[in-house]
C-alpha cells in the first residue's frame, strides 16, 4: 500500500462541522446510554453457548453502520499463521457499489494498522479497491473513515473499519465512541476464540480431570487487571465507561478484596485526566493523628517532627485523580476539612494560613456502610452526600461465580511463570470446589489460595489444598452468631434512632428501653456508641 494511502491528516478535526444526522441529534449522555445498550447486547451474545461468531459479528456491523449512517462497516480476524486478515463480517449501503471482493481488497491495505496496533484515519479510495467497477462509478466512491485494531491484553485479534463517502466526516467525539465499541467487539471476539479452544481441548481429551487449561493470555476484559465476563461485573464496567468520561466524584463500594482500587484505576485511565497523576491514600493504614498532614501537607515547624515543608496528597494529585481508600475510617474532626476541599477545591497546609487551590477528581472507596454510619453519627451526612454523587458497587466473588475459572487460570499462569513451574491443567473437581466456596475474602483470598496451591503442585496439574476450604467453612459457621454485647449495642442504637437521639423524656430512648436516663448514658459509654454530632 502506498504511503499516501495510509497518510492521516495532521489535524483531521480542525474546522470540521459535519456530523452525521443520527449522531447530530444525540447528546453525550444519549450516546453513552446507547453504548451501554450496545455493550449489554454484546455481553448477552458472548454468553450464549450456541451463538455463531459470524452471525453475531454480521449483526453488529449492520447496527454499527446504521448508528453511524456510514457506507460500510467491516470486522476482520487476524490470522497468526500468515499475518493476513480473514473477513468475518461486513455490511454496506445499498448504493455504495462495494462488494465482498472490493472489501477484501480494502482489507489488504490495512497492514500498517496491524503492525502498529493503533487506529488510523484513512482515505480508502487511495487503496485501489475499486478496480472491478466501471469507470463512471469510481469517481463517486471516494471514501474516508477509520480502521481500528481489535486488541485484548496486548493481543491483536483483528480490525474494525467504518467508512463513508466525501470529505473527513467523523469528529473526535465520534472516534472516541467508535474506540469504545471496538473494545467491546474485541471482548466478544476473544470470548468466542476461548470457547473454541476449550471445545478443541475437550475433543482431544475426554477425561474430566483436565478440561480447564491454564491460559493467562485469554483471561481478562479490556480493563487492565480486571478479570471476568459475568453479567454482574459487566454491569459495573459499563458504569465505569459512563462515569469515566465525566469529571464527577465516584464512591466505590464493596467487600474487602473485591478489587475497588482496580475499578478506581480503570476510571482514571479512561478519563481526560489519564495523563495526570493517580494518587492513592489508604485512610485506614495511616494513624488518625497523621492523616491530616498526609492529605493536606504541612509547613516546617507545624508540629513536633515537622522538620521540612511537605506537600500533601491533594497537592500531588493536582489536575489528576486522588483515590481515598477506606474513606469511612477518616476521623470526624477531619471530615469537615475534606468536605471543604471537595466543594470549594481549596485548603490550607497544617501550620499555614495561605489558601491553596487544587483541581482534583476524588474517587473514594469503602467496605463499610456509610449510610449506616451517618445514622449512627460516626460519619457526616453532608460529606456522605458529597461523595455519593455516583455510587458503584463491586460485586462479591460469590455473586459472580462464573468468573472464578477465569480468575483461577489467570493466577495459576501468573504464579507458575514466577515460580518456574509447568502447570498446564486444573482438575475439574478442583474448579468445582473453588466455584462452590463462598470466598469471604473475595478475589484477594482466592489469589492467595491459588499461590499456595501452585507452591504445593510438583507436576503439570494443579494440586490445591481443598481440605482448607472445608475447614474454613465449618469455622465460619461456628462464629456466625453475634455476641450478646453486639446484640445489645444494636438494640440501643435502634432505640436512639427511633427517638431521634433524645435520651430523656416520655418519648426518649430511655423510656423506650425501660431504663433510667442515667443508666442509658452509662450503657452508651460502655458500648462505645458515639454521641451524635451536630451537622
Note the pLDDT tens digit of each residue in 90-102. 888 776 666 777 7
Q: How far, in Å, CA of 104 to CA of 72, rounded?
A: 13
Q: What percent of the chain has pLDDT over 70?
A: 69
- If you classify domain 400-478 with CATH, what class do you get? mainly alpha
For residue 15, name the pLDDT band (cuts at 50, 70, 90). Answer: very low
How many whole angstroms separate alpha carbon 72 and alpha carbon 102? 11
Would the pLDDT of 129 be above 50?
no
- What is the structure's pLDDT at 196? 64
Residue 3: pLDDT over 60: no
On average, the pLDDT of the chain sits at 76
**Predicted confidence (pLDDT) per residue in 181-190, tens digit:** 787 777 777 7
Rounded to the nearest 5 degrees, what angle is found at the Cα of 244, between the Cα atoms of 242 and 247?
115
325 half-sphere exposure, CB direction, 13 A CA radius = 19
- Comparing 429-433, 439-443, 508-512, the range with the smallest average pLDDT is 508-512
Options 3.20.20.140, 3.30.450.40, 3.40.50.300, 3.50.50.60; which CATH number does 3-197 get? Answer: 3.30.450.40
Q: Say which range, 171-185, 212-226, 420-434, 511-525, has the weakest mean pLDDT.
A: 212-226
pLDDT at 201: 53
Q: What is the longest distance spanned by two Cα atoms in the chain?
A: 100
Predicted local confidence at residue 218, as pLDDT:
40
Average pLDDT, integer, range 511-523: 81
- What mean pLDDT do residues 425-430 have? 89
In this prediction, residue 168 carries a pLDDT of 58
Contact 184, 75 (CB under 8 A): no
pLDDT of 210-231, one tens digit each?
446 665 444 445 577 788 888 8
- DSSP collapsed to 3 states, 86-150: EEEEEEECCCCCCCHHHHHHHHHCCHHHHHHCCCEEEEHHHHCCCCCCCHHHHCCCCEEEEEEEE
Q: What is the CATH number of domain 231-393?
A: 3.40.50.300
| pLDDT tens-place string over residues 488-512 | 777 888 888 888 788 888 888 888 8
Sheet with 321-325: list strands edge to edge: 278-282, 321-325, 361-366, 250-253, 391-393
Query: Mind giving me the DSSP string for 470-496?
Result: HHHHHHHHHT-SPPHHHHHHHHHHHHH
Q: What is the pLDDT of residues 332-355, one digit of tens each?
A: 989 999 999 999 999 988 888 889
**Which of 44-53, 292-301, 356-365 is the least confident region?**
44-53
Regarding predicted confidence, which is higher, 275 or 57?
275
List Cβ neighbours of 112 (8 Å cut-off, separation of 6 or more).
Answer: 1, 6, 120
Residue 365 has pLDDT above 80, yes or no: yes
Give pLDDT, residue 124. Answer: 62
pLDDT at 323: 96
So what's the pLDDT on residue 169? 60
Residue 64 scores a pLDDT above 90: no
Check: CB of residue 503 under 8 Å from CB of residue 509: yes
Give yes or no for a contact between 33 and 245, defined as CB atoms under 8 angstroms apart.
no
Q: What does the pLDDT read at residue 111?
A: 61
Mean pLDDT across 282-309: 84
d(CA 32, CA 26): 10
Q: What does the pLDDT read at residue 327?
A: 95
Q: Three-state DSSP class for 151?
A: strand
Mean pLDDT of 450-479: 78
Alpha-carbon Rg for the chain in angstroms: 29
pLDDT greater at residue 267 or residue 156: 267
Amino acid at each position: 500500500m502506498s504511503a499516501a494511502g495510509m497518510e492521516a491528516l495532521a489535524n483531521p478535526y480542525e474546522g470540521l462541522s459535519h456530523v452525521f444526522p443520527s449522531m447530530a441529534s444525540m447528546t453525550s449522555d444519549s450516546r453513552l446510554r446507547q453504548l451501554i445498550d450496545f455493550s449489554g447486547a454484546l455481553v448477552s451474545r458472548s454468553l450464549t453457548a450456541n451463538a455463531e461468531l459470524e452471525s453475531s459479528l454480521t449483526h453488529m456491523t449492520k447496527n454499527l453502520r446504521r448508528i453511524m449512517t456510514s457506507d460500510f462497516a467491516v470486522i476482520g480476524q487476524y490470522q497468526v499463521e500468515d499475518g493476513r486478515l480473514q473477513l468475518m463480517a461486513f455490511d454496506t449501503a445499498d448504493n455504495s457499489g462495494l462488494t465482498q471482493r472490493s472489501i477484501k481488497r480494502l482489507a489488504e491495505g490495512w497492514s500498517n494498522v496491524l503492525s502498529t496496533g493503533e487506529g488510523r484515519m484513512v482515505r480508502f479510495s487511495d487503496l485501489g479497491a475499486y478496480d472491478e467497477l466501471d469507470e463512471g462509478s469510481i469517481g463517486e466512491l471516494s471514501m474516508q473513515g477509520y480502521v481500528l485494531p481489535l486488541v485484548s491484553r496486548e493481543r491483536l485479534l483483528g480490525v474494525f473499519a467504518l467508512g463513508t463517502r466525501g470529505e473527513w466526516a467523523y469528529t473526535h467525539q465520534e472516534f472516541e465512541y467508535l474506540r469504545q465499541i471496538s473494545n467491546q467487539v474485541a471482548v466478544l471476539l476473544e470470548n468466542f476464540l476461548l470457547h473454541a479452544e476449550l471445545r478443541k481441548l475437550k475433543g482431544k481429551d475426554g477425561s474430566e480431570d483436565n478440561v480447564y487449561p491454564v491460559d493467562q493470555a485469554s483471561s481478562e476484559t479490556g480493563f487492565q487487571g480486571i478479570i471476568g465476563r459475568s453479567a454482574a461485573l459487566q454491569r459495573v464496567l459499563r458504569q465505569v465507561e459512563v462515569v469515566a468520561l465525566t469529571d464527577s466524584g465516584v464512591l466505590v463500594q464493596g467487600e474487602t478484596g473485591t478489587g475497588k482500587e482496580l475499578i478506581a484505576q480503570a476510571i482514571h485511565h479512561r478519563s481526560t485526566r489519564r495523563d495526570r497523576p493517580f494518587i492513592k491514600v489508604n485512610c485506614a493504614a495511616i494513624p488518625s493523628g497523621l492523616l491530616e498532614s498526609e492529605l493536606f501537607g504541612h509547613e516546617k515547624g507545624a508540629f513536633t517532627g515537622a522538620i521540612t515543608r511537605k506537600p500533601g496528597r491533594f497537592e500531588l494529585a493536582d489536575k489528576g485523580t486522588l483515590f481515598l481508600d477506606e474513606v469511612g475510617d477518616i476521623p470526624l474532626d477531619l471530615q469537615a476539612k475534606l468536605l471543604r476541599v471537595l466543594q470549594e477545591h481549596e485548603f490550607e497546609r497544617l501550620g499555614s494560613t495561605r489558601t491553596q487551590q487544587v483541581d482534583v477528581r476524588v474517587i473514594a472507596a469503602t467496605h463499610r456502610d456509610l449510610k449506616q454510619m451517618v445514622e449512627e453519627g460516626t460519619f457526616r451526612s453532608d460529606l456522605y452526600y458529597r461523595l455519593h454523587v455516583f455510587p458503584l458497587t463491586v460485586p462479591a466473588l460469590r455473586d459472580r461465580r462464573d468468573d472464578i475459572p477465569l480468575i483461577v487460570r489467570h493466577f495459576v499462569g501468573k504464579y507458575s511463570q514466577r515460580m518456574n513451574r509447568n502447570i498446564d491443567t486444573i482438575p475439574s473437581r478442583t474448579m468445582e470446589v473453588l466455584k462452590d466456596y463462598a470466598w469471604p475474602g473475595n478475589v484477594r483470598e482466592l489469589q492467595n489460595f491459588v499461590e499456595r496451591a501452585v507452591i504445593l503442585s510438583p507436576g503439570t496439574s494443579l494440586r490445591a489444598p481443598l481440605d482448607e476450604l472445608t475447614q474454613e467453612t465449618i469455622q465460619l459457621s461456628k462464629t456466625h452468631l453475634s455476641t450478646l454485647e453486639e446484640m445489645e449495642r444494636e438494640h440501643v442504637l435502634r432505640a436512639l434512632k427511633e427517638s431521634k437521639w433524645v435520651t430523656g423524656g416520655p418519648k426518649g430512648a430511655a423510656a423506650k428501653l425501660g431504663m433510667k436516663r442515667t443508666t442509658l448514658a452509662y450503657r452508651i459509654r460502655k458500648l462505645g456508641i458515639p454521641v451524635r454530632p451536630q451537622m
